[in-house]
Amino acid sequence: MRNSEHAGFQEAYNMSVKNKVVVITGASSGIGEASAKLLAKNGAKVVLGARREEQLKAIVADIKGDGNQAVYKVTDVTNPEDVKQLVALAKTQFGGIDVIFNNAGIMPSSPISALHIKEWDAMIDINLKGVLNGVAAVMPDFTSQKHGQIITTSSVAGLKSFPGAGVYGATKFAVRNLMEVIRMESAQEKTNIRTVTLYPGAINTELLNTISDTATRSGMDDLYNAVGIGPDAVARVVNFAVDQPENVNVSEFTIYPTKQG
């Protein structure tokens, strides 16, 4: 192998979590919190966004207390300007951005016939438009620097249909399509933007707290109590994805509890 070829090969493979700047939405609990702490432990510089300031403040204090780097900004992903400012904080504080993890989401599942229309709107605004706002916030930087990674939390409800989760699943199916199209378009445009879509199963987080439909909540509680696992399982997958070299796109991960059928 010629020296120039060897140098290019090494550059492609010398990537890791260490020193990457990672913006995370929905970072005040669950998968977002677990991912932030693991990435920071492994040397990433994390920028946390969510609506609950006290939780964000405590998480950042924990990360800094361990000698790692983190900042936060109160962020409502339904507000495009909020997400832009979160990305701007990453650039001001850490000099750039390498990854955005669009993790904010809600799951007020119910039968369509129950007509919880306000909850439908909220899911579309957060689960879909919130992701689009994240994409829009990083796309100019990722395009100009010709690298970047967009990680987004979908759901197993984005892979197959579940009664009681029609609108929730619709938002998660949409995210699945969006991420793959971004990956394909970036390859065509030679901007090297990588995408990762996560499909978690029964992961024990605060997500069930958003379900107002009594019958649906009861069934979900039974499932999660029987088979649910902690958000660290997803955080390890996020860390793996961020750790991949720039010439590798690991695009989809389904994360089930072993006991979940």
Query: Known catalytic residue: 72?
Result: no
The pair of structure tokens assigned to 47 is 């920028």
- The answer to whether 47 and 21 have CB atoms below 8 angstroms apart is yes
Angle among Cα 75, 183, 234 to the nearest 5 degrees reads: 55
d(CA 179, CA 177): 6
CA dihedral 57, 62, 63, 66 (to 10 degrees): 150
Residue of 71, 72, 83 whose CA lies nearest to 141: 83
Q: What are phi and psi of 247, to 5 degrees?
A: -95, 15
Residue type, 211: I
What DSSP character marks residue 157? G
Among residues 13, 72, 168, 199, which one is catalytic? 168
Catalytic residue numbers read 168
